[in-house]
Homo-oligomer: A and B are copies of this chain.
Amino acid sequence: MSKQFDNVSVVAKANVYFDGAVTSRTVLFADGSKKTLGIMMPGEYEFGTDSKEIMEIQSGELRVLLPGETEWKEIVGEGEFTVPANSKFKLEVRKVTDYICSYLP
């Protein structure tokens, strides 16, 4: 069976960024934590974080420039990276990318 999140709430409306090139759905957990499940179309993006974020790539192809880094990290297929709170990171998405973003306290 494919991975799923149980006993959660899902916000009906999508989060839409970059004219829809990046969209996500917000999933709320009973313990008060939050994840977004998102899709990124090919393109170049810069994002800012409020909280610390773990980005889990479920499928896709992209590279990421994390804050303070000078080398891009390549992800093909599955992968993961962590972004500190209150920082910015850049993404170059080459193929449609399906991600799970976890917001940490």
30 A-B pairs in the complex with CB atoms less than 8 angstroms apart:
A2-B13, A3-B12, A3-B13, A4-B11, A4-B28, A5-B9, A5-B10, A7-B7, A7-B9, A8-B8, A8-B10, A10-B10, A10-B25, A10-B27, A12-B37, A13-B58, A13-B59, A14-B37, A14-B58, A14-B98, A16-B39, A16-B96, A16-B98, A20-B39, A23-B23, A23-B39, A23-B98, A25-B25, A25-B37, A41-B41
Question: Which residue of B5, B9, B13, B25 is within 8 Å of A6 (Cβ)?
Answer: B9
The verdict on A54 contacting chain B, using a C-beta distance below 8 Å, is: no
Copy tally for this chain in the complex stands at: 2
Secondary structure of the A contact surface, majority rule: strand
